[in-house]
Amino acid sequence: MVSSPVSSRLPVFPWDRLEPYKATAAAHPDGIVDLSVGTPVDPVPAVVQRALAAAADSPGYPTVWGTPALREALTSWVERRLGARGVAEENVLPVVGSKELVAWLPTQLGLGPGDKVAYPRLAYPTYEVGARLAGAEPVVYDAETFFAADAAGTELDPSGLKLLWLNSPSNPTGQVLSAEQLRRAVAWAREHGVLLVSDECYLELGWEADPVSVLHPEICGGSFEGIVAVHSLSKRSNLAGYRAAFIAGDAGVLGELLRIRKHGGMMVAAPVQAATVAALADDTHVAEQRARYAHRRTALRAAFEGAGFRIEHSEASLYLWATRDEPCWDTVAELSKRGILVAPGEFYGAAGERFVRIAFTATDERVQAAVQRLSE
Ligand SMILES: Cc1ncc(COP(=O)(O)O)c(C=O)c1O
pLDDT surpasses 90 at 3: no
Q: Which of 95, 99, 170, 228 gets mutated to test ligand 1 (max ligand atoms within 8 A of its CB)?
A: 99
- CA gap 164, 109 in Å, rounded: 13
Q: Averaged over 195-214, what is the pLDDT?
A: 98
Return the closest-CA partner of residue 247 out of 281, 181, 195, 197.
197
Sign of the torsion formed by the C-alpha atoms of 253, 255, 260 and 261: positive
Query: Are 101 and 93 in contact, with CB atoms under 8 Å apart?
Result: no
Q: Is 201's C-beta closer than 6 angstroms to any atom of ligand 1?
A: yes
Confidence of residue 1 (pLDDT cuts 50, 70, 90): low
Torsions phi, psi of 297, nearest 5? -60, -45
- Ligand 1 closest atom vs CA 317: 16
Q: Which of 234, 321, 361 gets mutated to test ligand 1 (max ligand atoms within 8 A of its CB)?
A: 234
Count of residues in the chain: 376
Please report, rounded to a whole number, the percentage of residues in the chain having pLDDT higher than 70. 99
Q: What is the whole-number distance in angstroms between the Cα of residue 199 and the centre of ligand 1? A: 8
Tell me the pLDDT tens digit for each residue of 287-300: 999 999 999 999 99
Q: Averaged over 310-329, what is the pLDDT?
A: 98
Torsions phi, psi of 170, nearest 5? -90, 140
Q: Is 200's C-beta closer than 6 angstroms to any atom of ligand 1?
A: no
- Ligand 1 closest atom vs CA 167: 1
- Ligand 1 closest atom vs CA 102: 4
Q: What is the whole-number distance in angstroms between the Cα of residue 283 and the centre of ligand 1? A: 21
Torsions phi, psi of 312, nearest 5? -110, 155
Residue nearest atom 6 of ligand 1, based on CA coordinates: 99
pLDDT surpasses 80 at 118: yes
Q: Is 232's C-beta closer than 6 angstroms to any atom of ligand 1?
A: yes
Query: Are 357 and 319 in contact, with CB atoms under 8 Å apart?
Result: yes
Q: Is 98's C-beta closer than 6 angstroms to any atom of ligand 1?
A: yes
First-last CA distance in the chain = 55
Pairing of strands 161-167, 116-120: parallel
What is the residue-averaged pLDDT of the chain? 96
CA within 13 Å, CB half, 47: 12
Least confident of 48-62, 78-92, 144-158: 144-158
Residue nearest atom 16 of ligand 1, based on CA coordinates: 171
pLDDT surpasses 70 at 273: yes
- Ligand 1 closest atom vs CA 235: 10
Q: Which of 127, 205, 232, 237 gets mutated to test ligand 1 (max ligand atoms within 8 A of its CB)?
A: 232
Q: Is 181's C-beta closer than 6 angstroms to any atom of ligand 1?
A: no
pLDDT surpasses 70 at 153: no
Q: Is 124's C-beta closer than 6 angstroms to any atom of ligand 1?
A: yes
Q: What is the whole-number distance in angstroms between the Cα of residue 234 and the centre of ligand 1? A: 8
Q: Averaged over 5-9, what is the pLDDT?
A: 89
Q: What is the whole-number distance in angstroms between the Cα of residue 141 and the centre of ligand 1? A: 20
Query: Are 305 and 320 in contact, with CB atoms under 8 Å apart?
Result: no
Q: What is the whole-number distance in angstroms between the Cα of residue 98 and the centre of ligand 1? A: 6
pLDDT surpasses 80 at 149: no
Q: What is the whole-number distance in angstroms between the Cα of residue 99 and the centre of ligand 1? A: 5
Q: What is the whole-number distance in angstroms between the Cα of residue 29 and the centre of ligand 1? A: 32
> How far is residue 148 from each of residues 16, 229, 320, 368, measured CA to CA in Å?
37, 21, 24, 39
Q: Is 346's C-beta closer than 6 angstroms to any atom of ligand 1?
A: no
> Looking at per-residue confidence, does 150 or 332 come out higher?
332
Q: What is the whole-number distance in angstroms between the Cα of residue 185 and the centre of ligand 1? A: 21
State the virtual CA torsion across 209, 246, 130, 105 in degrees, nearest 10: -130
Q: Averaged over 156-174, what is the pLDDT?
A: 96
Amino acid at 9: R
User: In three state form, how does the secondary structure of the chain look?
Assistant: CCCCCHHHHCCCCHHHHHHHHHHHHHCCCCCCEECCCCCCCCCCCHHHHHHHHHCCCCCCCCCCCCCHHHHHHHHHHHHHHHCCCCCCHHHEEEECCHHHHHHHHHHHCCCCCCCEEEEECCCCCHHHHHHHHHCCEEEEECCCCCCCCCCCCCCCCCCCEEEEEEECCCCCCCCCCCHHHHHHHHHHHHHCCCEEEEECCCCCCECCCCCCCCCCHHHHCCCCCCEEEEEECCCCCCCCCCCCEEEEECHHHHHHHHHHHHHHCCCCCHHHHHHHHHHHHCCHHHHHHHHHHHHHHHHHHHHHHHCCCEEECCCECCEEEEECCCCHHHHHHHHHHCCEECEEHHHHCHHHCCCEEEECCCCHHHHHHHHHHHHC
Return the closest-CA partner of residue 277 out of 31, 52, 46.
52
